[in-house]
Structure 1
Amino acid sequence: MSSRAIGGIILILLGLALFSTRGVIIDTGYVFSTFWPSMFVIPLSVFFHWMYFGLTSRKGVGLLIPGGILFVVGIVCQISMLFDVWEYTWPGFIMAVAVGLFEFYWFSGRNKWLLIPINILAVVSILFFSIFTAGALFNGIGRPFVAVALIALGVVLFFNKKNSHFE
């Protein structure tokens, strides 16, 4: 695609955005307030990765730490904005640091001591995510499903002929 075509597309989109401020096409306030992670945070993380893989010839490995952190933070924020689940996705911010450090570990000299904080952060994040998600499922809509599953499992175990001790 030529630079003139790309410039034309950008001008058309800019004109549509300005035209839509009257509410004719789209609500730009809604788009910015909902998709800000995809517009600002995730592209910044891609920029850090591009700088490492493209510009520095894989010499600036420290660029991967903020790149990985911002990428996971952008995904967590985007999911939270779309589904309004901030109370369940906040452990993703802890996992973001683990991912950034893991990228640094993977592409650098693989210092084994770096795996200690990576594993601690990942386990804490998974633990918190599991606890809060399981609590929400058990106390919310999922409680009848959990009850039915426990009853069904009990019936299967009780009537299983292989392990029957009553015969």
Structure 2
Amino acid sequence: MKNGKVIYGIFLVGIGILFSLQSIGLIDNFWSFSWPLLLLFVSIGFHLGFFLSGAKKQQAGLLVPGGILFVLSILFMFEEMTNWSFSEYTWPFYIFAVAIGLFELWLFGGREFGLLIPIFILFGLSFVFIIQNLFTFNVLSFWPAILIIVGLFLIFGRTSRTSKDI
């Protein structure tokens, strides 16, 4: 526990020094670039909490907010560096962040099949919206064709027949 106190102490002293330097004018606009770092440190704290506890499956829930905050901190750092000029294109990464958090839960928490369903839905949605933002044509106009193809596959696709199906 003593190592934890030292780490938190160093962190608080560092933050205090940076804010002091900003208040006397040596650092200009520190907060606009530092607040995503706070999210990153909290994310790292969640991940360290999981891995330092022995990476037990029961503690894997710590990885959900850890993964979400990690992706969001990287996104917010990018947005702050570009003065939020790409935010109309980067909004699907909010959905992607939740998918990453759930994926970490699946990966380290027992790999339950049911958890893959929301993960793939969220990954798929974020992927479609990112592609839509990258290209000038509207990808969503292809949804009816995608639904028809998936429906035809479900109707006519190969299935493995078992004794229960017959």
Q: TM-score, normalised by structure 2?
A: 0.66
Alpha-carbon distance, 1:56 to partner:
5.4
In structure 2, the residue matched to 1:128 is: 129
| Structure 1 residue 52 corresponds to structure 2 residue 53 | no
| RMSD of Structure 2 on Structure 1 (CA) | 2.9
In structure 1, the residue matched to 2:23 is: 21
Q: 1:133 to 1:52 in 2, by over 3 A?
A: same
Alpha-carbon distance, 1:31 to partner:
1.7
Alpha-carbon distance, 1:108 to partner:
1.3
Larger Rg: 1
Q: Which runs of 5+ in 2 are unaligned?
A: 1-8, 138-166
Q: 1:11 to 1:121 in 2, by over 3 A?
A: closer
Matched residue type, 2:88: E
Identity of aligned residues (%): 38
The answer (yes or no) to whether the contact 2:22–2:30 under 8 Å persists in 1 is: no
- Report the secondary structure of 1:109's partner residue: coil
| Structure 1 residue 66 corresponds to structure 2 residue 68 | no
Matched residue type, 1:99: I
Q: Which runs of 5+ in 1 are unaligned?
A: 1-6, 137-167
Q: How does 1:1-167 map to 2 (within 5 A)?
A: 18-23=20-25, 25-27=26-28, 30-38=29-37, 40-55=38-53, 57-58=55-56, 59-83=58-82, 84-135=85-136
Matched residue type, 2:76: C
- 1:45-92: per-residue Cα shift (whole Å, max 9, x none)? 100001000035524111111111111111111111111321111110
Alpha-carbon distance, 1:35 to partner:
2.8
